Structure 1
Amino acid sequence: MSRLKPKLFSVMKTYTKAQFLKDIIAGSIVAIIALPLSIALAIASGASPESGLYAAIIGGFIISFLGGSRVQIGGPTGAFMVIVFGIITEFGMDGLIIAMIMAGIIMIFLGLLKMGTMIKFIPYPIITGFTSGIAFVIFSSQINDFLGLGISQVPSDFIDRWKSYALNFLKIDLMTFLIGALTLIIIIFWPKVSKKIPGTLIALIIASLLVGLFDLNVATIGTKFGTLSSSFPKFQMPTITFDLIKLLIAPAFVIAFLASVESLLSAVVSDGMIGSKHQSNMELIAQGAANIGSAFFGGIPVTGALARTVANIKNGGRTPIAGITHSIVLLIILVSLMPLVQHVPLTSLAAILFIVAYNMSEWREFKGLLKSPKSDVAILLTTFVLTITVDLVVALEIGLVMSMFLFMKRMSDVSDISIKNLDFTETNHADGEKAYTNESKKYPSLDGVKMYQINGPFFFGAAFKYIEAINQLDTKIEYLIIGMKHVPAIDATALHSFHISLQTCKSKHITVLITGLRSQPYQTLLKANMIEKIGEDHIFKTIEEAVQMIKNNRETK
């Protein structure tokens, strides 16, 4: 448990005044970047604009205070939008709070069980597939606001949504579209003017001023949501029932999965940028606590936000103080400037989410993966399509199941059972000439002896091959040598097959000898009492030793 120590407490030992000033500046800049993103993501998720800020303030503070990364900035991200929208639509805000609490508990347990490093074993095609799918869903969800189509209730189903867009396409509001397009142009080209001041902030200020000064008939946050609250978020406790827990456990796991993967990927990237090393298990615990905290104060799910983390690093942030500053600045904006936020056009928020979707899409990685083996491409496309057309839960479930079956097949491919006869027989070459095998040359008089050599991990994939080979043994065989020099590990399925093979050999009066047994397989066989059944005197380091025993036995008869 000694390693589970927040980075904040470690870095403060060598903290300086100069770094404090850099962290304050970096945190303030990141807060300005996070402001429109947090509001836009909350609205797109079906929640209130304030809930996005609550998440960034409460969740972001906890992530920085307890986290295992020096520079991680936490808050709402686009990854959650699809799952959050589905939960709120079906179960309301109380349902989301319950799901977030469960997700937080799951993440804390993962951290306490030191499972942080296991996240990296999630197949890359699944991550890219659902990330690209979410990006496309975010893009498609913002068409109505960006074009000003005026659709009061946009269908949640992907196909129906685009049908609705097609039917209402001629209702495009030109002024709304122009304000949205202007926002997009400013965000894209502003970095050429200044990289210090966020383009999203400039775009929102210009768009809001244009709409307000010229009294343009463009929908704003205020026209849709009314007066926004400037008060500090209040503690909320939902009514929790066992039935709700059962219904929300799957979405909770998805939230935990997304938060874990995205936060740890962000931490890895930031490590490379600052030459540091994060504590993955402590980061998971912090992420879990942050989601529980955000839930209790009416926020949406949070995780490590890569774009904001990179902005923090580029502006000089090097300790969790920058992340804490980011939350404090957002709190000041919440209690003092929320009336101004009401004037932000919805089409401008849609433009911001278009940029978020583009950055999430990872289209270059997606394109590159299409050149991978067909099985990986199938997983990528399946996860992508299901994320778009069904939902994220189903996409992840099926993607993971497909990956497991693919893993089983590949393990079967790399594991092999080689059959070698140590009976002085000859083998035919392709040209018809006969030659003794290497094994025959070594052991020139061992009739009635069969050798099976297992190559690679002896897992479930190889177990079936092994049983088939054992069943082929005839009654003329007296000894079976099983070479396991190249077996690094053995699993439960293979262990069961091993047990069956011993019974089969016993029924055929075949003596089993094991050679080259390594540490993990030996310990596994020992715990399962297989060593006792085989006999310690039938286990050898080399084939030569096993052969010598056979010769000795035959000489004494």
Structure 2
Amino acid sequence: MFEFPQFSKQSVKNDVLSGLTVALALVPEAVAFAFVAGVDPMVGLYAAFIVGFVTAVLGGRPGMISGATGAMAVVMVSLVAEHGIQYLFAAIMLAGVIQILAGIFKLGKFIRMVPHPVMIGFVNGLAIVIFLAQLGQFKVPDATGALVWMQGPQLYIMLGLVLLTMAIIHFLPKLTKAVPSSLVAIITVTLLVHGLGLDTRTVVDFVRTMSGDANATLAGSLPTFALPEVGFNMETLRIILPYSVILAAVGLIESLLTLTVIDEMTGTRGQGNRECVGQGIANMTCSVFGAMGGCAMIGQSMININSGGRGRLSGITGAVGLLLFILFGSSLIEMIPLAALVGVMFMVVIGTFEWATFKLARKVPTHDFFAILLVTGVTVAFDLALAVIVGVIYSALVFAWEHAKRIYATSHTDQNGSKIYVVNGPLFFGSASHFLELFDAKNDPANVIIDFANSRVADHSAIEAIDTVAERYTNQGKTLHIRHLSPECRSLLKKAGNLVEINMLEDPTYKVATDTLG
């Protein structure tokens, strides 16, 4: 479970500096998601530290950043509103158990079966969600406390600082890569704002606006251990189980998809099942330390990777750095202009969005391009988990439809007078009805052989189709033989009983997913 890699001075420097950059960017995100969930800001900040630290140590993807996320926060809000925060902690504990079980039973491998168009829709949708979330920073409270869009000099200063941040991040790597450009941009813009006395919103202004407390700060203490104050009985289980299942699913889907994206960016391979266990342990830890739980964050992970962070040390530095800011450096973090963090996140959006999508319209099948748009739209309109589920179901139905049209049979008569049908294409629920039309029981000879050497019996609908064909030949007083079936197919066909005769020749073993993918 634990790794003790050999670090070079260069990798340590990159991981530490990129981790500090991530820690700075985590603050407003954690605070914002805490308010989305309807809990105190410190509950979100503690989650960012705990989830980030535990997954950095135990997770399956070095360099990936985890913390409090909006995808899980929107699930939590109704539970907190109806039953209180203690039930949230209990739900997070159970969600963690479910995630650990998913890792133990090696379910992480199935994320590899998510189609590529769904992956593109996933990253595009999250890029749009991240972008839309940053627009909220361009709103300020009016005299009544309602949030309104910035206007005049305040808006111009905000836009200018955002553009300056983005310019530094874009052009600095062309001069030097000794330090993360995002960190340099944040420090430069912060010094410029306070050196010139520019009137622009800072992190502490954001916290006070969100909380409605003019004296709110980010200063805090270490989280303390305490079991959720709920009755550990069936009534509590009835309340939290639906939320726990959804939280566990959302957390794993977002984490494993982010893991896959980071794999592609770095040319390495993470361990999906280990990540499931790491996420579960992190959420269980959150539940007993007063934190809201979380999962992988694609935005922060992109910041880390683009800043040079590749190892576990980057995630550990980000988490520990965030905790140190809370304990000792809150006054410094509160000084950071929101414009600097917005600029960093805008660059994340630009780097995350798959701009080649617009070129794919004429280069890929129409149904694949529609899958990209579908997943992107559902991610923006609803949430990530639903989007991925919808995308996978849509892709599966398209696959079934396309393959249902590809089953056909060639026939010939052998020297014994038996007619042999050679079936080509998969036999499953989508192609079963067409399969029945391939045979002429009334006019065929007394002995008929169906050869599945080029086909595969896939499901119960296929078994019923073979059973129906066999019955048709039996009713005509004719004998049907089946041959060249794989072992999996023969086991499925036991249901057909004595209606069919199975040739026991060995055939290849077919597998869909193996544990080596985990």
Which of 466, 480, 484 does residue 512 from structure 1 map onto?
Answer: 480
Which of 284, 295, 313 does residue 302 from structure 1 map onto?
Answer: 295
Q: What is the deviation of 1:144?
A: 3.8
1:275-324, CA deviations, whole angstroms, 9 ceiling, x for partnerless residues?
xx544322321133223334554255232764366368x56x65x45644
- What one-letter code is carried by the residue in structure 1 that aligns with 2:178? K
Tell me if the contact between 2:441 and 2:472 (Cα under 8 Å) persists in the aligned partners. Answer: no
1:86 aligns with 2:74: yes
Q: Which one has more relative contact order, counting CA pairs under 8 Å at least 6 apart?
A: 2
Residue in 2 that maps onto 1:348: 340
Tell me if the contact between 2:252 and 2:276 (Cα under 8 Å) persists in the aligned partners. Answer: no
1:478-529, CA deviations, whole angstroms, 9 ceiling, x for partnerless residues?
222111111245322212222233233322222111232333322332xx25
Tell me if the contact between 1:126 and 1:396 (Cα under 8 Å) persists in the aligned partners. Answer: yes
TM norm structure 1 = 0.75
- What one-letter code is carried by the residue in structure 1 that aligns with 2:126? I
- What one-letter code is carried by the residue in structure 2 that aligns with 1:515? R
Distance 2:59 2:488 in 1: 35
- What one-letter code is carried by the residue in structure 1 that aligns with 2:296? T
1:368-413, CA deviations, whole angstroms, 9 ceiling, x for partnerless residues?
3662101111211112122223444443333222112112113313
Residue in 2 that maps onto 1:530: 496
Distance 2:353 2:193 in 1: 31
Residue in 1 that maps onto 2:463: 495
Distance 1:324 1:209, change over 3 A: closer
Distance 1:64 1:386, change over 3 A: closer
Q: Secondary structure at the match of 2:118?
A: helix
Matches within 5 A, 1:265-276: 265-267=261-263, 269-270=265-266, 272=267
Distance 1:49 1:359 in 2: 29
1:66-101, CA deviations, whole angstroms, 9 ceiling, x for partnerless residues?
2345x3343238xx43x2453355444948656654
1:224 aligns with 2:201: no
Distance 1:369 1:286, change over 3 A: farther
1:403 aligns with 2:432: no
Distance 1:333 1:374 in 2: 49
Distance 2:46 2:11 in 1: 22
1:453-497, CA deviations, whole angstroms, 9 ceiling, x for partnerless residues?
221332222222223335x52166422211111124532221222
Distance 1:504 1:243, change over 3 A: farther
Aligned CA RMSD, in angstroms, stands at: 3.6
Q: What is the deviation of 1:257?
A: 0.8
Residue in 2 that maps onto 1:117: 109
Where does the alignment leave 5 or more consecutive residues of structure 1 unmatched?
A: 1-5, 155-163, 423-441, 543-557
More displaced stretch, 129-138 vs 140-149: 140-149
Distance 1:196 1:489 in 2: 58
1:336 aligns with 2:328: yes
TM norm structure 2 = 0.80
1:198-253, CA deviations, whole angstroms, 9 ceiling, x for partnerless residues?
22222222333343344433222212322112312344637556245435644542
Count of aligned residue pairs for this structure pair: 481
Distance 1:118 1:392, change over 3 A: closer
Residue in 1 that maps onto 2:233: none
Residue in 1 that maps onto 2:33: 45
Q: Secondary structure at the match of 1:487?
A: strand
Distance 2:337 2:425 in 1: 61
Which of 10, 13, 22 does residue 34 from structure 1 map onto?
Answer: 22
Which of 400, 420, 435 does residue 466 from structure 1 map onto?
Answer: 435
Distance 1:392 1:63, change over 3 A: closer
Distance 1:153 1:395, change over 3 A: farther
Distance 1:363 1:98 in 2: 41
Where does the alignment leave 5 or more consecutive residues of structure 2 unmatched?
A: 208-215, 231-235, 508-518
Q: Secondary structure at the match of 1:173?
A: helix
1:403-434, CA deviations, whole angstroms, 9 ceiling, x for partnerless residues?
121121133134x1315253xxxxxxxxxxxx
Larger radius of gyration between Structure 1 and Structure 2: 1
Distance 1:280 1:256 in 2: 9
Q: What is the deviation of 1:540?
A: 7.2
Distance 1:97 1:265, change over 3 A: farther
Percent of paired sites with the same residue:
23
Which of 180, 191, 194 does residue 209 from structure 1 map onto?
Answer: 191
Distance 1:326 1:247, change over 3 A: closer
Distance 1:541 1:343, change over 3 A: closer
Distance 1:517 1:351 in 2: 60
Q: Secondary structure at the match of 1:457?
A: strand
Which of 145, 154, 164 does residue 182 from structure 1 map onto?
Answer: 164
Q: What is the deviation of 1:169?
A: 7.0
Matches within 5 A, 1:242-281: 242-246=238-242, 249-250=245-246, 252-267=248-263, 269-270=265-266, 272=267, 278-281=270-273
Distance 1:126 1:24 in 2: 35
- What one-letter code is carried by the residue in structure 2 that aligns with 1:116? G
1:173 aligns with 2:155: yes
Residue in 1 that maps onto 2:181: 199
Residue in 2 that maps onto 1:72: 63
Distance 2:257 2:92 in 1: 16
Tell me if the contact between 1:450 and 1:481 (Cα under 8 Å) persists in the aligned partners. Answer: yes
Q: What is the deviation of 1:341?
A: 0.7
